[in-house]
């Protein structure tokens, strides 16, 4: 078995999907897990990107169906988490509008992130290292601070935190371990980026979001493809078992092998 075949099998990506079937399967997955866990619904952070938009659409359908079937209200709560002023925050709210989200919470993470960064710099200074936290380090603080707030809200509302991880991120390890810090459920995990886009079109994700360049929003001007040097087109082709340019294949496989710790369980003795 080639490394490409091994990766595809591990991540569970299909070469071709039936969009309606995938949507139904993922809604049922969410419904079943909510009921099994005894929770009151789902919490999803809406970044304004395509992945969180698709996850939001799936969550809202799942909780609407559970409410109709049981007579008990199940919620999908959308959370908006700008750092200071987010220039595309309206894209996040347009997703909430598109899917008719009743419950919306905005939590600005700027003060919390800056305080954590400052404390980290004091810590470095205490061991003789006088420097600002790196750009990447601060980016990870943003991701983890967002998760702290999501879990604070989810705990008191008795909700499951939904992650937007998918196979095109998993292959590159382009996430903080276990998503952006840990999540409860990942309904997109066996889809590549192209397939996420296919679901987005069917679910009715607003067109401006479909047209945006994918970004983790870690710093100004950051894009996934620019950061990794690998296009999502090549990434998705690879996960569908297709041949891609040798340079792209080598880069993708090197990234996969280098980031195994991101996908592996926490090791213990």
Buried b or exposed e, range 169-187, using 16+ CB within 10 angstroms: bbbbbbbbebbbbebbbbb
Q: Indicate the SS3 state at residue 223.
A: coil
Cα–Cα distance for residue pair 70/91, rounded to 1 Å: 32
Say what the pLDDT of residue 80 is: 97
Give just the sign of the alpha carbon dihedral 223, 261, 190, 97.
negative
Phi, psi (rounded to 5 degrees) for 44: -130, 125
Catalytic residue selected from 22, 91, 169, 234? 169
Predicted local confidence at residue 161, as pLDDT:
97
> Computed from CA positions of residues 201, 196, 41, 97, in that sequence, does the dihedral angle turn out positive or negative?
negative
* pLDDT of amino acid 175: 74
The span from the CA of 148 to the CA of 101, in Å, is 22
Q: Phi then psi for 80, rounded to 5 degrees?
A: -110, 130
Average pLDDT, the chain: 92
Known active-site residue 224: no
Mean pLDDT in each 10-residue stretch from start to end of the chain (269 residues)?
95 97 98 98 96 97 98 98 92 96 97 98 97 92 94 98 93 75 89 96 94 68 73 94 95 92 85
Tokens in use for 219?
């710093």
What does the DSSP assignment read for 187-201? TTTT--HHHHHHHHH
What angle do the packed helices 135-157 and 110-126 form, to 10 degrees? 130
Indicate the CATH number of 3-263 among 3.40.50.620, 3.10.180.10, 3.40.50.720, 3.60.110.10: 3.40.50.620
Q: What is the pTM of this model?
A: 0.91
Residue ranges per domain, the chain?
Answer: 3-263
Pair of tokens at residue 218: 């870690």
The catalytically annotated residue of 51, 91, 180, 237 is: 51
SS3 (DSSP) at 105: strand
| Beta bridge partners of residue 161, listed in sequence order | 43
CA nearest neighbour of 47 among 10, 13, 80, 90: 80
**Structure tokens of 94?**
């347009």
Active-site residue 90, yes or no?
A: no
């Amino acid at each position: 078995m080639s490394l490409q075949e091994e990766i595809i099998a591990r991540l569970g990506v299909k070469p071709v999907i039936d969009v309606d079937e995938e949507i139904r399967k993922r809604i049922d997955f969410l419904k079943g897990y909510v009921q099994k866990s005894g929770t009151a619904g789902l919490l999803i952070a809406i970044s304004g990107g395509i992945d969180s938009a698709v996850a939001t659409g799936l969550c809202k359908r799942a909780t609407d169906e559970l409410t109709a079937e049981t007579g008990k209200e199940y919620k999908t709560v959308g959370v908006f988490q700008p750092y200071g002023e987010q220039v595309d925050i309206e894209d996040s709210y347009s997703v909430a509008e598109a899917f008719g989200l009743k419950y919306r919470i905005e939590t600005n993470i700027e003060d919390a992130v800056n305080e954590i960064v400052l404390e980290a710099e004091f810590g470095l200074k205490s061991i003789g290292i006088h420097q600002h936290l790196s750009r990447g380090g601060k980016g990870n603080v943003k991701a983890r601070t967002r998760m702290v707030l999501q879990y604070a809200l989810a705990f008191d509302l008795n909700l499951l935190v939904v992650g937007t991880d998918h196979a095109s991120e998993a292959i590159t390890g382009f996430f903080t371990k276990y998503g952006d810090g840990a999540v409860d459920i990942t309904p997109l995990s066996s889809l590549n980026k192209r397939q996420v886009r296919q679901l987005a079109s069917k679910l009715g994700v607003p067109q401006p979001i479909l047209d945006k360049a994918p970004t983790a929003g870690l710093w100004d001007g950051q894009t996934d493809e620019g950061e990794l040097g690998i296009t999502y087109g090549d990434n998705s082709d690879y996960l569908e078992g297709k041949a891609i340019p040798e340079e792209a294949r080598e880069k993708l496989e090197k990234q996969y092998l280098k980031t195994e710790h991101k996908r592996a369980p926490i090791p213990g003795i």
